[in-house]
Structure 1
C-alpha cells in the first residue's frame, strides 16, 4: 500500500460540493490526494431542534441523531452540510439567534484526518493518474501510518536594498548551491545565474523552484521577511509567483493586528528556523542568525551591525557582486547547518507524526491535544464542549515551598519524573472521566446511603466512603476494601472514573515511546514527546481549550502540592532537613559532612524509599497503581539559598550550587543574575567568579575590591552594556518610560539628524549604557559613564546575596568603612 507524509492540506467548495487536497512526500515522489464530497458537520442539542429548523429554513442540511451527548449529558444531533459555505452560513445564523453550536470551528480537511487517526504519515490507495511532476489519486481511502520520509529541502535567502528592491536570492540544499542575481555576468567562485532585472529575478526563482521541486523550503525569518518581500515585489510587477506544486500560486495571508503573516505553497512547506527552534524549546539571548549560528556552530556573519551590513550589501551590489553572492549563499548555508546541527526537521516531523499538527505550525498545544483526544471522545458518543464564555478561571500554580536561606554543604535534589503527566496517569484525570466520575459518584452516593441504613455504619466511615478524604486517609491508615469510592476524588469537587477515560492511556503510550527514544538515544523524538506530555496540564488549565475545566487543572496542581508536602514530611521523618521545594523538586540538606559517594547513596536510597511509600499509600487508600517516580537528580557539594532582597525571608526560584563530578566542576544558577538577559556581562562574570570562590572556601575580598577598582577606572567598559528588548512600538510608551526606551528614542533622534531612517520605532533590541546624563545608546554615547550606577546596581546586589553568609559586607570591603561593631 503506498505511503507518504503530509506536506500541505486545503479544502474548498466546487460545483455545489466540497473538495479536499492533501499533498504528500512519498518514496516515489510528490503525491496529491483528491477527496470529493466530504460533508462538513457540527452538532446541536436535540432539545433545540424546533428552533434550528426555523432558523435554517433556507440552508440545506441533514439532521442525524447517532446517540451523542454533551458533557451536560444532553442528547446531541449532527448537522451535515453539502458545502463549507452552507456550514458557515448555518453556524452564523444559529449564533445570531443564541443557539449553541458544538464543534463548528474545525476545518474540513483537519477533521477528516483527525477522525481517522491520521497524523503526519499516511497509507493511502485510490485511482492513480500521472500528472506533470506528481501522481494524483482520486476515490481515496487513507489511514495513519508510521512513515520515515526523506524530504527534499532547499534553504532560501533574499538580499535586497534598504527600499526592498531585490538584488539576489540564494539557494542551498539538495541538488543546489547557487545564487540568482540581477546584473551583468562576471566571473565568480560562487555559481551565479545572472538576470537582467527584478522581474526576471522573480521569474528565474519561479523556474528554479519548479525545477528543483523541494518538499520543504527553510530560512531565517523566511516567511515574514523573505516570502513577504518576494510576493510584495511580484505584485508590483503584476506577477503571481507559481512556487507551489502543479504550478499553483504562492498565497500570502496577514496575521491578526499586523502580527506575523502566513505563506501557503500547495505541495510544499516553508519552515522558519526561529519558529522551529522556539517550538523545540531552544532559548537564546538573541534569535538573530548571527547569534544563533555563533552559539551553535561557532561561526557566523562578518558583522551583526544592521546599518553596516545593509550599507555593505548595497555597496557590494554596485561594485562587488561576487562578494555579495558569497555572502548570500553563506546565509543559506548557516541556516542549513543549524537545521542539521539541531536535528530540527526531525523534531518537527516527529511532532507532526505524534500530534497531527502541520510541519510549519507554531505553538499549537491546544490543537495537538484536541487531535489526540477528540476522535476517542467521539467513539464514546460524546460531543466536545465549547470554549468557556468567561475565558476560564485561573487555576492554582505549582507548589513552591518557603525556603530556608543559607549557605549549605551537601544538598540533594530529588525530582519527580514528569510529575504532572504522572499525576494524570495515576489519578485518571481526564475530561470525559470527570463527566463520568461525577455521574458515578451521584449513583454510588445513593447506593452508599442505602447500605449505611442497612448496616448502621458509623457516621465517620460513611463520610469517608463518600468523600475519600478523611483524617485516617491523610495519616496513612488502611481503608477497608468496601469503603474505597467508586470514583477517584480530585479537587474542587472533581471525581474521576476509574475506567472511562482516555488521557491517562494517551500519556502512558507517549511515556513508553519516550523511554524507547531514550534507550535509542533519539534526542529529537524524546524532546518532542516530552514537550507534548508536559503541555497537557497547561492545555487543561487554559481558557483557550474546549476541554478547559478548573477542576481538571486544579486536580493536577493541587495534587502536586499534596504530593510535594507529603514527600517533604517523609524525608524529614527519615532524619533529613528539607530546605526548599519547587513544583516537582525537593531540596534536601544532609548534615554530618558525608563523602560524595555516601551522599549519592543517601540520595538513591531516599528516592527508593519515598517511591515505596507512595506505592503503598495509593494502593491502600485509593486502590490505585502509583505512576509517580521520584529520582535522585543532583548532589550539590555547596549550595546557596539566598534571601529576598531587603528581607530575611528566603527567596523562591532563586538559588545557586556547585556540582562536582570527578575533576569536572559546574556552577549552576537559577533565577540569578548570570542567567538573566537584562543584566550586564559585568554582573554575570562577577557572579560566576564570586560564587565560585565562596563555594570553594576562598576569601573573595580582594577580588571584589579589584573588580570595583577596575570598573571605576574604565577598564570594564565593554562589559557595562545593557541589551534589552522593545516589546512595544516606541510611541506606545507614554506613562512609564524605562531606560531602554529613553535610549532608543535618543538613538533614533541621532539617526534622523544624520539623514538615516529610524531604527527602533517598531520594537527590536537596543544596546545602551548608563551615563551621568542617564541612559544613552551605545552607538551614540556622549556623556561619561556613570560607574557608581554599575557598582550600586550591578555588583552590590550580586555580592549582597552571598556575602552575609560568610560574614562579609560589600560596602565595608569597597569603601573601607568600619563594621557596625568594629573598633579603630
Structure 2
C-alpha cells in the first residue's frame, strides 16, 4: 500500500513512499514540454470530442505537475484500508511566562501522545530528555500517520526548532532518510486535525465559527474537555504539575478522538477522489473534484490549464423564497437529493459539450456528467444495500460519495477551476430555479403553506404527515430524473429578520425536531467576542421558545438578566471577552478594546512580540472615557476589584445576542428593557 507520493522532498525527484520501502522517480520524464515527439497528435487521437476543443497555440496541459502526470500515467491511485494503518496523536505544552510561545527561548515541558489507544505523558525535568523520549517513541512505535491539532503550524515546527537548539537529531522519517521539513516526513502521513475541521466545515458536516480544539470537540461530542488558563501553564508546571499533565493528556486524547471519528470518511474520500490523504487534508473541496476529473479524463481529453483567475462574471443563482419572520408550528422540510448533480447529468452540462451561450450537446455524455453519473449511480447502489443490511462502512462510503457529488457544481462555478464555465453554472441554476418554482406551485395548489424555499428545498406547514408523503410522491413522479426526500418533521421553528428591515433572512432559522433536538442555521450562538453570559442567555431563550413555545418566559428571562447586570450581581468571569490580535500591535490603525488591553499588559512587563496573535481576555470596566479605553485585562480587573460597566454589557452583549430572535416575535430593544408583557404567541 502506498502511503504518500511526494514531489517536494527534493526538486528533481518524485518519491513514492510505501510502509517498508520507497521508490525514486526522476521528474524530467514527467515535466511539461511542448516538443515531446508526437504527444500532441496522440492526445488529439484519443479525444472523444475533437471538433469541440481548441488547443491553445503552442501549449496544452502545462499546469499538470510532474506528480500528477506520474500518478495518472501509472494509475497509482490510493488504496487505503483502515485496518492496515497505525497512528500516533500528540500534543505539546510549553513554558512561557506571557504571550505566544517562542521556540527560541520557551522550553517544552510535556508531550502527551496516544498510540492505538495507549496514552502516555512525557514530562522530564530536563527538556532534552522529554524531547528525546518522545522522538524515540515515534521511532519505536513507527506509526504510519502522525496526528495533531494545528501541528503543521505549531507542534511539529516548534518541536523541530527546540530539538535543533538542544542539539537533538529530530529525524523521525522512515528508511534512514533525513527529515528535511518537519511537516513533510518521508514514510509518514502528517494529519492536521485543525485542517480537518476546516474541511468538514466547508463540506457542511460541521457548523463552525470557532476552530479551537475545545470548541470543535464540543460540537462533535457534546462534551467539554478538561481546560486550564493557558497563560498559567508556567505556574502549573512549577506548582501543580499533575493538573497541567492532565490537561496535556486531555488535548492529545481529544485530538485523537476527533481524528478517529472522521478517519474512515477521509480514507473513503481519498480512495474515491484518487487523492492521497496528506494532500486531501491540506486541500479544498475544489481540489478534490479537480483531482478526480483530471484522473477520469487524463487518457481521453486535453486537460485545460489552470488560470490564476477567470474574470469575474455574475449570474443568477438558486431561487430563494424569503420567510416571513416569526414562530411556526408543524414544519416539514423537503429537499431534492443531489439536485444540481442530477441536472448536470440529465442535461449533459460540461466544458467539452458546450456549444455556445447556454447550449450543450445532448450526446455523447461529457467528462463531468460521465464522472458524476458514476458517482451518483454508485451511491444509489450503496443506499439500496444499506436498506438490506446495517453496515457502518457502507454508510461512510455513501457520505463520501455525496460530498464529492455535491462539490461538482461549486467547482464548475469556481473562477480558479480549470473547468470553469460561467454558462454551465448559469444553466444549472436556471433549471434548478424552474424546478423549485414548480414545486412551490404544486404545494400551494395542494393547500400547503410554503414558509421558506432555498435552491433545492422547501419548508411547508403540514396538517398530517400522510399528506406530506403524498405530496413527495407527486413531486417525484413529476420529476423522474431526481428525487425529493423528507429531511425531517419539526414541531416548531423560528425564522428571523434581516438586520436592515423586517423581511425574513436567508438561511437564518432554528427548528426543533420531534425528539427535542434543535437544528440551528445562521445564528451566532458561539462568537468569541460574546461573553459567556450572552451566549448562555441566547441558548436559554432559544430553548424556551422552541421547546416550550414560551415566548413570555423568554422575555422574562431577558429582563431578569438585564436587572441582574444593572445591580452589579453578575460574576465578572461570565463577562470576559476573548478577542484575538489579528496583527502586530504597531500595525493597528484604530483603537480597539483588545489593543488597549494588550498595551496594559505590556505595561506590566509582557513582551510586545509575544502578544502578536495572542487571544486577549478583558472586561469592560465602569468609568469615564470611550469603551476601548475601559478594556481591562482580566488579571488587572480582578486584582484591583474593579466594577464592570452594566450599560455596555446590556447594549453590546445581552441585547445583540437575543434581538435577532426576539425582534422576529415583535420585541424591539425598548420593549425588552421595559416591564411590558406580551401575550403568549402560540
TM-score (normalised: structure 1): 0.69
Secondary structure of the 2:561 match is helix
- Aligned in 2, Cα 1:213/1:573: closer, same or farther, shift over 3 Å? same
Task: Please name the residue that 1:485 is paired with.
Answer: none
Q: Which of 265, 273, 276 is the aligned partner of 1:355?
A: 273
Task: Please name the residue that 1:64 is paired with.
Answer: 39
Measured in 2, the distance between the counterparts of 1:74 and 1:633 equals 42
Task: Please name the residue that 1:39 is paired with.
Answer: 29
- Aligned in 2, Cα 1:202/1:634: closer, same or farther, shift over 3 Å? closer
Measured in 1, the distance between the counterparts of 2:650 and 2:251 equals 40
Residue 609 (str. 1) matches residue 480 (str. 2): no
How many angstroms does 1:34 deviate by? 4.4
Measured in 2, the distance between the counterparts of 1:608 and 1:758 equals 65
Matched-pair contact (CA < 8 Å) for 1:366–1:544: no
- Aligned in 2, Cα 1:546/1:732: closer, same or farther, shift over 3 Å? farther
Measured in 2, the distance between the counterparts of 1:697 and 1:325 equals 46
Deviation per CA, 1:698-747: give whole Å up to 9, x if none. Answer: 43354444333223233444544444444444444325x5xxxx232233
Task: Please name the residue that 1:23 is paired with.
Answer: 17
Residue 304 (str. 1) matches residue 158 (str. 2): no
Task: Please name the residue that 1:241 is paired with.
Answer: 170
Matched-pair contact (CA < 8 Å) for 1:406–1:642: yes
Q: Which of 436, 439, 459 is the aligned partner of 1:564?
A: 436
Secondary structure of the 1:65 match is helix
Task: Please name the residue that 1:151 is paired with.
Answer: 85
Measured in 2, the distance between the counterparts of 1:515 and 1:764 equals 48
Residue 538 (str. 1) matches residue 392 (str. 2): no
How many angstroms does 1:173 deviate by? 0.6
Q: Which of 370, 392, 397 is the aligned partner of 1:521?
A: 392
- Aligned in 2, Cα 1:398/1:733: closer, same or farther, shift over 3 Å? farther
Measured in 1, the distance between the counterparts of 2:9 and 2:38 equals 22
Matched-pair contact (CA < 8 Å) for 1:68–1:383: no
Matched-pair contact (CA < 8 Å) for 1:221–1:272: yes
Secondary structure of the 1:247 match is coil
1:373-392 superposed matches below 5 A: 373-387=293-307, 390-392=310-312
Secondary structure of the 2:152 match is helix
Matched-pair contact (CA < 8 Å) for 2:496–2:508: yes
Structure 2 spans left out of the alignment, 5+ residues: 97-104
Matched-pair contact (CA < 8 Å) for 1:158–1:328: yes
Residue 511 (str. 1) matches residue 440 (str. 2): no
1:633-648 superposed matches below 5 A: 633-645=487-499, 647-648=501-502
Measured in 2, the distance between the counterparts of 1:722 and 1:115 equals 55
Task: Please name the residue that 2:200 is paired with.
Answer: 280
Q: Which of 668, 674, 678 is the aligned partner of 1:815?
A: 674
Matched-pair contact (CA < 8 Å) for 1:240–1:250: no
Task: Please name the residue that 1:101 is paired with.
Answer: 59
Matched-pair contact (CA < 8 Å) for 1:414–1:634: yes
How many angstroms does 1:646 deviate by? 5.7
Task: Please name the residue that 1:421 is paired with.
Answer: 341
Matched-pair contact (CA < 8 Å) for 2:3–2:189: no
Task: Please name the residue that 1:581 is paired with.
Answer: 453
- Aligned in 2, Cα 1:637/1:156: closer, same or farther, shift over 3 Å? closer
Secondary structure of the 1:66 match is helix
How many angstroms does 1:293 deviate by? 4.6
Matched-pair contact (CA < 8 Å) for 2:17–2:187: yes
Matched-pair contact (CA < 8 Å) for 2:296–2:371: no
1:718-797 superposed matches below 5 A: 718-735=573-590, 737=591, 742-758=592-608, 761-773=611-623, 774-775=627-628, 776=631, 777-781=633-637, 784-796=643-655
How many angstroms does 1:496 deviate by? 4.0
1:28-427 superposed matches below 5 A: 30-35=20-25, 39-42=29-32, 44=34, 62=37, 64-68=39-43, 101-121=59-79, 147-162=81-96, 163-174=105-116, 177-179=119-121, 182-183=124-125, 198=128, 205-236=134-165, 241-252=170-181, 263-281=183-201, 282-284=206-208, 286-293=210-217, 296=220, 303-313=227-237, 328-340=248-260, 342=261, 344-361=262-279, 362-387=282-307, 390-427=310-347
Structure 1 spans left out of the alignment, 5+ residues: 45-51, 53-60, 78-98, 122-145, 184-195, 253-261, 439-491, 616-625, 820-824
How many angstroms does 1:11 deviate by? 7.4
Structure richer in strand, relative to its length: 1
Matched-pair contact (CA < 8 Å) for 2:655–2:669: yes
How many angstroms does 1:100 deviate by? 5.8
Deviation per CA, 1:491-518: give whole Å up to 9, x if none. Answer: x534244323132232233334445665
How many angstroms does 1:541 deviate by? 1.5
Measured in 2, the distance between the counterparts of 1:103 and 1:215 equals 34
How many angstroms does 1:213 deviate by? 1.9
Q: More relative contact order in 1 or in 2 (CA 8 Å, sep 6+)?
A: 2
Task: Please name the residue that 2:3 is paired with.
Answer: 6
Q: What is the number of residues matched between the two proteins? A: 640
**Higher mean Cα deviation, 212-221 or 151-160?**
151-160
How many angstroms does 1:383 deviate by? 3.4
Structure index of larger Rg: 1
Matched-pair contact (CA < 8 Å) for 2:64–2:305: no
Matched-pair contact (CA < 8 Å) for 2:497–2:664: no
